[in-house]
Structure formats: structure tokens, C-alpha cells
Amino acid sequence: MRLILLGAPGAGKGTQAGFIKDKFNIPQISTGDMLRAAVKAGTPLGIAAKKIMDEGGLVSDDIIIGLVKDRLKEPDCAKGYLFDGFPRTIPQADAMKEAGVAIDYVLEIDVPDEAIVERMSGRRVHPASGRTYHVKFNPPKVAGKDDLTGEELIQRDDDKEETVKKRLSVYHEQTEVLVGYYNQWAASGQPGAPKYRKIAGVGPVDQIRDSAFAALSG
């Protein structure tokens, strides 16, 4: 099972990625993790990436694709792999295609913006324990207070409505084009084209999980 997960920030990709990894016994490929590991190990690509990052630059797609190709040679990728958060742009998707990175499925988790804003901006956190609540879906017993300690809950900066809306607009501008890109490729019938599947990412988590598994079995 070799797949790419697509969806807006807050669509629940991380949660579903966990279920998919466990079911198919495949690793989740995170470009951030790969970069950190390569820098730490002092590989040629890691050294090149560190130099760019130390200068405050963005690591090039060529280096990222090189890291991806190296990562996919590792034994834990024998049964497949899951990409979440990569590719983010058409050039990255093209580079993956040119590098011959095989993809069986592209799974899009579709959640309307207003549902994501409600989901993220309603989150409240107890900083000391990491316990999370939601003002609507999972409220604390006493508004604004942790159930166990009675301490104040906070809203993380990442969860503030304006931050969420900004991240969504970046997604729509930069990454949403991949939906069309993979859709067209899947419909082309070309050799090596992935299957494209879209599921609704609203509702109970296990219902979404079952939709994802069903989408990946046909």
C-alpha cells in the first residue's frame, strides 16, 4: 500500500494516517523527520540541507526528493509507505513522478472550511498535562477549566480562528491544485497512474476510518 494523503490542515489526516499505518503495517514518510535524521546522520544530502537551513534558506525540492528516494529503500518500506504533507506543490509532485516514486492511491479527506475553523478554533488545552477539550464537541465540566486540576485552559495560537483561516488560504492557494493534478493523472489511465479516492472527513472518527479503509480496498 503506497499512498498520498491529501486534505486541508485540520482535516484529520494525522488521525487517519495512524489508522492506515497500523492496518497496512507501513511507515509514515514525513519530510521533516527525514531532514532531521539526514542532518543528524551527516549524510551527503543531510550536510547539504543543513548548510541551506543554517543560512535561513528553504531546502530545495531536489534534496527533498533525494531524501525520499533514500528513505524508500529502507526495509520498513517493503510493504509500502504513506505520505502526509508531501508533496505540497506541483513541482514536488512532478519531481516524485520523474523519480519513479510508485503511488497506488491518492486519498483526499474532504472537510469544508467552516467545519475546520469550528473544529480547530474550539480546541482548548491544559498546558501541564496536554489534555485537550473542545468548547462544543468535548467541553470541560466547568467552562475554561481542566476537569482534573481545575486549572485554566488555553487556546493555542495555532488554533486561533485567524491563524486557521490563514493556513487554509495558503492550502487553497498552494496545495489544493494537487487534487486536480492527481485526479487527472488517475483518470488518464496511464501506466503507473494511482487510483484517486475522496472521502468525507466529517462525522465520528471511526466512521471516517471505515470510509478510508473501504476507499483503499477498491
- Show which residues are catalytic: 13, 88, 123, 156, 167
Task: Examine residue 75 and say whether the peptide bond preceding it is cis (omega within 30 degrees of 0).
Answer: no
* Residue 123 parent element (H or E): strand 123-125
Task: Characterize 34-53 residue by residue with b for buried, 16 or more Cβ atoms within 10 angstroms of its Cβ, and e for exposed.
Answer: bbeebbeeeeebbebbbeee
What is the three-class DSSP state of 198?
strand
Query: Cell digits for 198?
Result: 475522496
Distance (Å) of CA 141 to CA 121, 124, 156:
19, 13, 20
* Angle (deg, nearest 10), helices 31-41 and 44-54: 100
Q: Which of 25, 111, 89, 37 is nearest to 68 (CA)?
A: 37
| Planar angle of CA 122, 126, 130, nearest 5 degrees | 100
Count of CA atoms in the C-beta half-sphere (13 A) of 210: 5
What burial class does residue 3 get, using C-beta atoms within 10 Å of its C-beta: 0-12 exposed, 13-18 middle, 19+ buried?
Answer: buried
